[in-house]
Amino acid sequence: MSVFDLHANVLSDYQDYVRSFFTIAGDRARAFVDQALTDEARLWPPPQHGAPCLNESQRHQ
């Protein structure tokens, strides 16, 4: 198993875990939450790549 497969498996397990706490009765509300979790990745944003950005005041500390 590659590190990428491991990442995908862990993320999938976490998504299932988080969704197990939701009980949404309304169809529109459920669709909104599903879209926010899958399409917009609200709880699991993509990882950052590269060095973190520093603003001007942080560079001179």
Domain boundaries, the chain: 3-59
Q: What is the pLDDT of residue 30?
A: 92
| Predicted confidence (pLDDT) per residue in 36-53, tens digit | 888 877 777 777 666 666
CA atoms within 13 A on the CB side of 3: 0
Query: Does the structure show a pLDDT above 90 at 57?
Result: no
Task: Choose among 51, 47, 15: nearest CA to 33.
Answer: 15
Please, are residues 18 and 43 in contact by the beta-carbon 8 Å criterion?
yes
Q: What is the pLDDT of residue 1?
A: 81
pTM for this model (two decimals):
0.57
The 3-state DSSP class for residue 21 equals: coil
56 or 28: which leads in pLDDT: 28
